[in-house]
Amino acid sequence: MTAPGVALVGGHGFASRHLEHLRSAERSGQARLLGVADPRPPEGDAGGTPWFVSLDALLDAGVEPQVVVISTPPHTHASLALRAIAAGADVYVEKPPVSSWAQFVALEQAAREAGRVVQVGFQSLGSQAIDVVDRCIRSGEIGEVLAVGAVGTWSRTVRYFDRSAWAGKRVLDGVDVVDGVATNPLAHAVVTALRLAGCRRAEDVLDVDADLYHAHAIDSDDTSVVRVRTTSGLAVTCALTLCAPEQTAPTIRVRGTRGTIELRYTTDEVTVDGVDGRRTVTADRAHLLDNLLAHRSTGTPLLSPLADSGAFMRVLEAVRVADPPRQIAPEAVTWTGTGADRRPVVHDVDATLERAVTAQATLAELGVPWARRRPALDVLDVDGVPVAEVRDGSGVATTLSPRPYLHPVRTLGGVVVTDHLAADHAWHLGVGLAIQDVDGTNHWGGRTFTVEDRAYVWRDDHGRVRIDHHARESGSADQVLTWCDPAGAPLLTEHRRWQASSAPDGWWLDLRTELRSATGSPVSLGGPGSNGRSGGGYGGFFWRLAPCTDAHVRTAHDVGEQAVHGTTSSWLAWTAEFDSGTATLVFVAAHDDDTDPWFVRSAGYPGVGLALAWDHRTTVPVDTWLRRRVRVLVADGVLDDDRVGGLAADAFAGDLAPAPLTARHA
């Protein structure tokens, strides 16, 4: 058989690699290089290859290619591919295949009607590492897949965006370009992560969140998080930047219930850490043009057919129609280098992107200082000073047990004293109620400590707390909540009131809550402590503190984490140096039952809770309410123990029992 004739559109830049490969294929008899189309003449000797100023000029000269390779600026792909198909050729087009969803639909239709095929140059999809990962997932080596993420930390100079008129543009002369970090430089990270999640075609995508930013003086994004929810229920979170301190190999991560898989697609290395131990393998990679030629001659399946770019095109379209990228605040960026070699480094960007993938959250949801602000459900204030934002938990990943919470909480002086979606425990959400075992449903997040396993295991047992009613009344934020099991069935009804009020040394946060069974039968509350993990009695009220140093934790009788953890003192105080200043928090509990023990962590992470099920289970009745109340003094600076004790003694001004909320919501 005569080797197929191939025309190359584009002769410089990345196209020069295709030219070199085609000349090699010609020498081996796989293809015949019929000509190159590029308005710029060849650099030096063309080696006897005919050179044309355009694809039209090549075709008008009577050249009849069976395959056209397109390696030109992204916004030219659609028209060139359509012209090649009309000329009867199969097409290899570099990524991204086209620059809008409408162009994708038109190209698919044209190829189908002409009986032609289109291979998209997502080279990572030619790697046999994809098959290695697929086999590991199918074998159950990492258990059930929970989520897929991609982290890409690259660095680009001013020269990179000055190299052409279209670089860094969303639109050029009225034509879509969409040259952003997720759609061009690190598009392979996006498409590979989607592929490992089994999300290939457009119909595999449920929705896309595109959170876009830039530090460079460009129109498009250079630092972004794109989150895709698939129709199979997985989240694919791609956290990408061109403003890292140094360039590292992008990593795709598949997280399962029993292990993880990491793929470094630039080197085709796969590391599996699962039930069979840890191992790393390096796979081979097929060239996608060779694959297209083999498809024509032997029917070998295409490795990157146009239809399998449908999911990626849903991402590109979401980026295209999103609000323009937000400029990253100058104080969050350090510029290095000089002249055209200048490049921006976004502060802590590596850790921030890692956290985004771990929490399956956008930068706005994380509350990154330079990111867009997500509007809160409500804001608590003291004498007109905002001190706490009420979050509804929307956007929180299923495995983190979505629920309402407060974050950020601040002192009157502006010191932030809460954290959420933390890098070490993404399911820690500011201030609120969280219980790991509610009749077998995990309302804490993360892994569950089970009686059967006597260990933490990932289970499909995460519930959600739904807000049925929220209102501001007499200075308080009142809520009616339903705690639901994984299927959405009600387990508990809760009435909750948040209230902020002034205090001599700061302000008081008052939380009142009452729980009642919504099942018609008593509901059992438990956690790691009651399920057999000594000292792990968390579950109930929980405050995840912001990162801090020099923490001084004490009660009326003891000092230090080990001494106060598990005790039942009337108050607990925490003084520490936070990012923006020193603050003291005084926790005081009151209820009509035995005192709940304090749960305290300061060495591993900063957190304080009151344990509803320290070492035995607690029952929520059907016909009466389980009530709890806690007040927290939030103060700037250091308060000595005598002052703390006096404030704690006056915390409830004689009202020690949690006031009933039922009548208010009747």
Q: What percent of the chain has pLDDT over 90?
A: 92
How far apart are alpha carbons 372 and 369 in whole angstroms?
A: 8
pLDDT at 657: 47
Helices (H), 87-238: 101-114, 129-139, 158-162, 187-196
DSSP assignment letter at 189: H
Would you call 19 helix, strand, or coil by DSSP? helix
How far apart are alpha carbons 185 and 94 in whole angstroms?
A: 12
- For the cut 60, the answer to whether the pLDDT of residue 658 exceeds it is no
> Is 496 in contact with 478 (CB distance < 8 Å)?
yes
pLDDT digits (tens, 9 = 90+) for 585-642: 999 998 555 579 999 999 999 999 999 999 999 999 999 999 999 999 999 999 999 9
pLDDT at 75: 97
What is the average pLDDT across 463-471? 98
Q: Which CATH number is 125-282+307-364 given?
A: 3.30.360.10
What is the average pLDDT across 50-79? 98
What is the average pLDDT across 61-87? 98
What is the average pLDDT across 76-105? 98
pLDDT at 453: 87
pLDDT digits (tens, 9 = 90+) for 280-334: 999 999 999 999 999 999 999 999 999 999 999 999 999 999 999 999 999 999 9
Q: Which long-range contacts (CB under 8 A, 24 or more apart) does 334-338 make?
A: 337/157
pLDDT at 653: 72
Q: Which residue has the higher pLDDT, 662 or 446?
A: 446
- 649: which 2 tokens? 């003694």
pLDDT at 44: 78
pTM for this model (two decimals)? 0.94
* CATH 3.40.50.720 domain span(s) along the chain: 5-123
> Is 477 in contact with 498 (CB distance < 8 Å)?
yes
Helices then strands, each counted (H, E), the chain: 13, 39
pLDDT at 662: 55
- For the cut 60, the answer to whether the pLDDT of residue 222 exceeds it is yes
How far apart are alpha carbons 304 and 93 in whole angstroms?
A: 10
Q: What are phi and psi of 389, to 5 degrees?
A: -110, 135
What is the band of 389 on the pLDDT scale with cuts at 50, 70, 90? very high
pLDDT at 90: 98
CATH class of 5-123: alpha beta
